[in-house]
Structure 1
Amino acid sequence: MRRRKTAVAAGCCLAFLLGTLLNVLFVPGSEHPPPPHEGAPPSPPGAPFSPPEEDGGGRAALERQIRERYEEVLRYRQHRAGRRPLRPRDRRLMDLAPPRTSAEQPGPRGRAVGPRASGSAELSLEPPLLGCRDIRNVSGVQYLGSGYTKAVYKAVLNRTLAVALKAVDFGGHDIARCVRQFSALGDCYRLAAYKIVKEMILLQRLRHDNVLQLYGYCYQDSNDIPDTLTTITELGSPLEMIQLLQTSWEDRFRICLSLVRLLHYLAHSPLGSVTLLDFRPRQFVIVDGELKVTDLDDASIEESSCTSNSDCFMEFPARNFTLPCSVEGRCQNMNEKRNLYNAYRFFFTYLLPHSAPSSLKPLLDKIVNATGELHWGIDETAAQLERVLELYKSGGYLQNTTRTPKAEYRRVPEAFIPDENYRCWPSYHHKGCLLSVFDVNEAIEICDSYSQCKAFVLTNQTTWTGRQLVFFKMASNRILPDPDKITYVKVTD
């Protein structure tokens, strides 16, 4: 019996020792970090790694997130050249500010030192801006789409001006996830609304032809929450890559050129180098043929710090890059290079080379390859695309081509050919062959290259580059008068 008790005691001691050893080896802090929350947006390619947020902390964690986002908004309003008194409507932007703690109450002399006081002047927007009165009687309201945070609607003001209205989507991912975690709809709204405030500030500070225009904003009560924010912006058409691939090379080149001009501006903006962390075609719209960035709530001016080159690692789905670490401890041109490689993989590789003029293809291939390998920065890329534009507009790309007509053509002034259309690709007209040319000689060269082409009609219309639009015809059986057109008929093959 005594031996049995000794064995049991020894077993208990061994179990205790094993349990202690297991607890030491597998303490909670040594476990792998949990996977991202279900449904959370993935980190954008090329973005620096950031650990996932913890669910714990309750309201204190939510207040910390609100304060961090509020302070981020303030950073984007610094470096203002001069300040002006705030209009009452401007102060409404600060209604979203986090509540002050006792340490942030006004000091002995009545001077407020908290974020609400310091932020008022920083968050003011410049006039003239549209407001609630302007959108009170909108018409033609149409839902356009939504993302993780915002919903976007099309509306018509005064039956004349079509605009886009952006607001926090109460049924969107950001609000739903926050409410599920913290059960505080009002504070969750404030957290999401700061992304809209940040975007408003960036739209104001980044003034460029390829940045969407901010027209104004409005506060109104909605969903039992006072002062919900709606922004009023320029309206654009969604960027549909499938449709773009079916357009003329000239229009596709315009998209790439406007994107490069935008990225060149962002690399040298008044805020410093700006990177678009959520860089996807859906973040852009087309306005009058020009590409414009519309979503800036995920833009950043933060430059990654480093101690060695290995800290400057950019990871993309197809390949990775390591940039040099500067003596100042910053990854050299990381914001610029991230934007440029995203432009390559989403735009250049699809839109630039295909169906381009044959004499321009070597230069275009060089541009695509150099950006795909990040051998060039944005300055060199912009200079090379501007060179392509100049060659195309001036007809310089035709100088090294043989331009001996294969057939003779008869010129018929003030005349056009109705019907007699055939289809070609790419064409400006879906039922005919409508192309742009530099001059009559190029039109003759194009007609000679199509076996079905028997005539062409020079119109008085031009493209954005100033090139003339020409209809190519498969016959000339009927010629009618038109003072604005000139017809050329093939007389010999």
Structure 2
Amino acid sequence: MTFLKTPFGLFFFLALAVLTLTVVLKKWHFGLREEEAFGDDAPERNRLLQQLQERHQELKQLYVTSSEFINPHLSVNDSVFYINGEMSAGNTVTNETEIGCEELAGMKAVDFLGSGYTKTVLKVALPQGLFVALKSVNHQGTDMRMCMQDFKDSQSCHKLVSFKLRKEILLLQRLQHPNIVQLKGQCQDSVLVGGITAILEQGMPLQMIQLLQSPWEERFRVCLGLVRLLQYLSQSPLGSVALLDFQPRQFVMVSGELKLTDLDDASIKEPACQEDSDCLLQFPLHNFTHRCSPSRICKGLNEMRNLYNAYRYFFTYLLPHQAPPLLKPLIHQIMNSTGDLKQSINETLIAFEEVLHMYQSGQHLENLPPFITRDYAVLKGMRSVGNMEYRCWPSYNQQGCVLSVHSAREAALICSSHPQCTSFSLSNERTWTGRLLASFRSGFSHLVPDVNSAVYMRRVKASGAML
């Protein structure tokens, strides 16, 4: 026992004794709390503990998959295991400018963006003037309410329900794509924000009815962004990712781009199988059977699930309607191949990119009359005022008729097809594809100089009728 006689040995012995006593007291205290919450109902307690353990293992596995990307110098024990009853992810910060609890101290709630079974989303303004979305546990949500009905343990239920948000934060750290909402930070200050909170770039909830009324070019943009996202998810750093709860409400719009914002129901595992019948995808109107691979995995099933959901929730409503006539054959081919899952996501993306190229380049307008603009007198460097506007659909301006065109030729063709159109103007304003915005009018009172604009007026025949 000579070791204990040294100052260092004595200090080590006392530290060990204090640590042992602390662990014993914590276990005793936790046991009292369990008894208060459950009484003699051991099966319920065991069921809750089992669910907590299952969520813990799911998050642990996800972190093991992601840890090298997030911080190669941290071990799993450093960042994801329970510490004093709480799961810590505070050491997973990778961006020095990441927003944390300190930056939220002076925040101001601006708007309520939505809530679901598990989470609530608020739009807040930070002191530095930045608007962000705060996603936190919905303490009044269905998941929390059902947990409390079953187990009557608020702390454990909060821990159980918060697992989805913790999982989402890890996925947002690992899956980075222009069509996935950006994680700007996180906070775990229970006093300030009521528990774990994700700080996201601020987007607007997807309004499908409003999107249906938008120009075809904007609807195509949404579908193209979705296909690019699904192609990325099919071969992401985590493997093939399936969006199990694939609904329009899982997406937001950020500056015209569709972005995925809910990943808590994402799965990074493809189903195991013994035979082909185990690789069955069931939808309300269509079922698909995939082959079971030699490795006993339904390889590619996640990709198929995502693609068909994109078809039934997005493509069906947004893609064919009001498409440019000369692009409709390509659009119909895309609809047929995705509706029957005849092509992979890579092949589908190639088809979308071909449509985009033709639309941007104007190749779909090669059959336009080459001299159609001769029917119009052009006044460059001028802008019409005192305009008499008329409405058309779908228009970029609901109070008038503003459409996307490749050139003055296409604008002239559109004006000639509108009986009320007597003129149109072009400026340097462009859409996301680089196409021009043309404003069509039934008349105007006078013209004013504008170096960025040109006015095209329909010529009048000798009879007084418009050409």
Shorter-chain TM-score tier: 0.7 to 0.9
CA distance in 1, matches of 2:159, 2:344: 38
Conservation of the 8 A alpha-carbon contact between 2:187 and 2:196: yes
Match of 1:274 in 2: 241
Q: 1:413 to 1:402 in 2, by over 3 A?
A: closer
Q: Which aligned pairs between 1:374-413 and structure 2 lie closer than 5 A?
A: 374-405=341-372, 408-413=375-380
- Which of 392, 396, 401 is residue 433 of structure 1 equivalent to? 401
Conservation of the 8 A alpha-carbon contact between 2:60 and 2:80:
no
Who is 1:263 aligned against?
Answer: 230
CA distance in structure 1 between the aligned counterparts of 2:285 and 2:376, rounded to whole angstroms: 51
Residues 207-237 of structure 1 show CA distances to partners (whole Å, capped at 9, x for unaligned) of 11111111111122359xx971111111101
User: How far has the Cα of 1:416 moved from its partner?
Assistant: 1.5
Q: 1: distance between equivalents of 2:52 and 2:182?
A: 27
Aligned residue in 2 for 1:210: 179
Listed one character per residue, the Cα deviations across residues 136-176 of structure 1 (whole Å, up to 9, x for unaligned) are 11124322211110011010112521100011111001111
Cα deviation code 1:423-464 (max 9, x no counterpart):
111110011110111111111111111111111110110000
Q: Deviations over 1:171-197 (max 9, x none)?
A: 001111001101111011111111111
Identity %: 45
Structure 2 unaligned residues grouped into runs of 5+: 1-40, 461-466
Q: Residue 81 of structure 1 aligns to which amino acid in structure 2? A: E
Q: Aligned match of 1:76 in 62, 76, 79?
A: 62
Distance 1:206 1:182, change over 3 A: same
Q: Deviations over 1:47-70 (max 9, x none)?
A: xxxxxxxx9931111111111111
Say which of 35, 38, 44 aligns to 1:58: 44
What pairs with 1:229-244 in structure 2 (closer than 5 Å)? 229-244=196-211
Aligned-pair CA distance for 1:404: 5.0
**Matching residue of 2:6:** none
Verify the 8 A CA contact 1:305 1:329 in the aligned structure 2. Answer: yes
How many residues matched? 416
**2:339 is the counterpart of 1:372:** yes
* Structure with the bigger percentage of helix: 2
1:451 alignment partner, one of 395, 415, 419: 419
Which amino acid in structure 2 is aligned with residue 359 of structure 1? L
- Report the residue type matching 1:415 in the other structure: M
Would the aligned equivalents of 1:125 and 1:204 in 2 still touch at CA under 8 Å? no
The answer (yes or no) to whether the contact 1:407–1:490 under 8 Å persists in 2 is no
Deviation at 1:76?
1.6
1:28-427 paired onto structure 2 within 5 Å:
57-79=43-65, 80-81=67-68, 83-85=71-73, 94-95=81-82, 124-128=92-96, 129-158=98-127, 160-222=129-191, 228-405=195-372, 408-418=375-385, 419-427=387-395
Residue by residue, what CA displacement relative to the aligned partner does 1:340-359 show, whole Å, maximum 9, x if unpaired?
00000000011011111100
Pairwise CA distance, 1:479? 2.0
Is the 1:67–1:98 contact (alpha carbons within 8 Å) kept by the matching residues of 2?
no
> Is the alpha carbon distance of 1:161 and 1:396 closer, same or farther for their aligned partners in structure 2, counting shifts above 3 Å?
same
What is the SS of the residue equivalent to 2:188? strand
What is the letter of the counterpart of residue 479 of structure 1?
A: L
What TM-score results when the alignment is normalised by the length of structure 1?
0.80
SS in 2 for 1:318: coil
- How much has 1:313 moved relative to structure 2? 1.1
Is the contact between residue 120 and residue 135 of structure 2 (CA under 8 Å) also seen in structure 1?
Answer: yes
**Whole-Å separation in 1 of the counterparts to 2:230 and 2:392:** 34
Alignment deviations for residues 244-284 of structure 1 (CA, whole Å, 9 cap, x no partner): 01101000000000000000000010000001000000000
Query: Contact 1:66–1:98 (CA<8 Å) still a contact in 2?
Result: no
Q: Which runs of 5+ in 1 are unaligned?
A: 1-54, 100-115
Contact 1:70/1:97 (CA < 8 Å) preserved in 2?
no
The RMSD of aligned alpha carbons is 2.4
Deviations 1:99-119 (A, max 9, x none): 8xxxxxxxxxxxxxxxx7xx8
Offset from partner CA, 1:288-313 (integer Å, 9 cap, x none): 11100000000001111111111111
Q: Distance in 2 between matches of 1:458 and 1:97?
A: 66
- Structure 1 residues 196 and 126: CA distance shift in structure 2, 3 A: same
Supply the distance in 1 between the matched residues of 2:298 and 2:435 (Cα, whole angstroms).
43
Which residue of structure 1 aligns with residue 439 of structure 2? 471
Q: 2:456 matched to 1:485? A: no
Q: Secondary structure at the match of 1:144?
A: strand
Distance in 1 (CA, whole Å) between partners of 2:449 and 2:201 is 42
The answer as to whether partners of 1:125 and 1:201 remain within 8 angstroms in 2 is: no
TM-score by length of 2: 0.84
